[in-house]
Amino acid sequence: MKKRILLVTFLLVAVMVMANVLLVEGSPTLRPGQGANSASGGGCSATATITPNVSLPDGDPTYTCFDMVLSADPSATVLDVEVVVGHTHTWVGDLAYQIWNPALDHVTMMHRPGRTGAGFGDSTNMLSTSPVTFGDAYVDDAELMGNTLGDAQVVCQDDGRCTYFANRDEDLTSLIDFAAMAGSTVTGTWQFCASDNAGGDTGPLSTVTLNVTCAQPEIAIDKSPAAQTVVSGGNANFTITVTNTGTVTLTGVAVTDAAVPACDSAIGTLAPGATNTYNCADVGVTNTYTNTAVATGLGGQTTVTASDDALVTVVPPTSVSLSDFGAEKTALWPVWLGGLVVVALAAGLLLRRRRIT
């Protein structure tokens, strides 16, 4: 009888030991915590509005220019440009508009729409209460402004065509579109320039709004798990993800980790939205520590940096218990259930032998 009791006890202890081994040798256990995933840079926008309320010199092809000052992060460069013009003027075909950036590059947005050769342009009118917008995303050609309207009608108001892409027409010194300004500096003095190239029709330039979408380099890093527990002498395993969260291609992207050099990585170039993920480990950990992985990259002439922390808690083998592993102990119910089944089978076997004897 005593041998049978010892057998049952042995089986139960074996089940408990197996459960403890599973805990010790299993994956690192996540503890409550949050990594300091941070980023540098970011997209931006800059806007300037002027209200000249003046008429351009009539019949004079010389451009009259108005300063428009934009302020943004010094590292910000142009991603996109949009210009909104409110102008009351008869005979739109007399007019030409330009926008100049601080680098002295310009885009001629329209140049006497409808004019061919030495003739006059389109005879349609403009009203400041029906402004027109110029931008690369639009589908109507500025050279065709007013081409479906009569002399007494108003652009935008009467045809619903209020947005246009730039057409430099005969101005071959102009950039072909706003995209050609991409990468230039946002901050500084821009200029809106306009001219009235034929006599007999005038009207005030009321408002001009310049909207510039900025591109700034930006980077983010995530080091996971944010926290883990490791038995002394074991390994701390990490997954590191670096993302270009900006709109500028980053070069020389690298990760450094002072506490875990094995997590250092030279990633290289990351396009906007691109991600690089890799795994690394700290082998033979004996002390609790918090380490920081730092990602850096170069966008244009600007260096961006981001960092993320991870906590590694080291415990001695003798102190390992279910309470050290938080919610993971709830995952052991199959082991406990298996143990109960073994005990029940052993008890049934004992009872059966007693009946036989």
Q: Does 168 lie in the same domain as 59? A: yes
Q: Does 240 lie in the same domain as 198? A: no
Residue 328 pLDDT exceeds 70: no
Q: Is residue 165 part of a domain?
A: yes
Q: Which of 215, 243, 264 is the last residue of a domain?
A: 215
What are the φ/ψ torsions at residue 353 (nearest 5 degrees)? -65, -35
Residue given tokens 């690089």 in the structure block = 276
pLDDT in tens, 134-182: 999 999 999 999 999 999 999 999 999 999 999 999 999 999 999 999 9
Total length of the chain? 357
Give the residue numbers spanning the domain of 232.
217-320
Give the tokens for residue 330.
């709830």
Q: Does 156 lie in the same domain as 84? A: yes
- pTM as predicted: 0.64
Given this model, what pLDDT does residue 345 score? Answer: 65
Q: Is residue 346 part of a domain?
A: yes
Q: Is residue 273 part of a domain?
A: yes
Q: Is residue 20 part of a domain?
A: no
Of the pLDDT bands very low, low, confident and very high (cuts 50, 70, 90), residue 37 is low
Of the pLDDT bands very low, low, confident and very high (cuts 50, 70, 90), residue 338 is low
State the CATH number of the domain containing residue 57: 2.60.120.260
pLDDT in tens, 281-319: 999 999 999 989 999 999 877 889 999 999 999 999 875
pLDDT in tens, 208-257: 999 999 888 899 999 999 999 999 999 999 999 999 998 888 999 999 99
Q: Does 211 lie in the same domain as 177? A: yes
Q: Does 144 lie in the same domain as 282? A: no
Average the pLDDT over each of 27-41, 118-132, 140-154, 251-265 and give the range with the smallest value. Answer: 27-41
Residue with the larger pLDDT of the pair 341 and 13: 341
Residues 6-31: what's their mean pLDDT? 43
Q: Does 191 lie in the same domain as 71? A: yes
Q: Does 48 lie in the same domain as 163? A: yes
Residues 324-348: what's their mean pLDDT? 54
Q: Does 180 lie in the same domain as 232? A: no
Q: Is residue 50 part of a domain?
A: yes
C-beta of residue 188 within 8 angstroms of C-beta of residue 21: no
Residue with the larger pLDDT of the pair 10 and 43: 43
Pick from 256, 224, 251: nearest CA to 240: 224
Q: Does 285 lie in the same domain as 152? A: no
Grouping H, G, I as helix, E, B as strand and the rest as coil, residue 171 is: coil
Q: Is residue 251 part of a domain?
A: yes
Grouping H, G, I as helix, E, B as strand and the rest as coil, residue 331 is: helix
Count: domains in the chain:
3
Q: Which of 172, 198, 215 is the last residue of a domain?
A: 215
Q: Does 183 lie in the same domain as 52? A: yes
Q: Does 351 lie in the same domain as 223? A: no
C-beta of residue 55 within 8 angstroms of C-beta of residue 204: yes
Q: Where is mean pLDDT largest: 19-33, 112-126, 129-143, 316-330?
A: 129-143
Q: Is residue 23 part of a domain?
A: no
Given this model, what pLDDT does residue 215 score? Answer: 86
Q: Does 190 lie in the same domain as 277? A: no
State the CATH number of the domain containing residue 303: 2.60.40.10
Q: Is residue 19 part of a domain?
A: no
Give the tokens for residue 267.
């990633």
Residues 353 and 349: their CA atoms lie apart, in Å, by 6
Q: Which of 160, 183, 215 is the last residue of a domain?
A: 215
Which segments of the chain does DSSP mark as H helices, in order? 2-25, 333-356
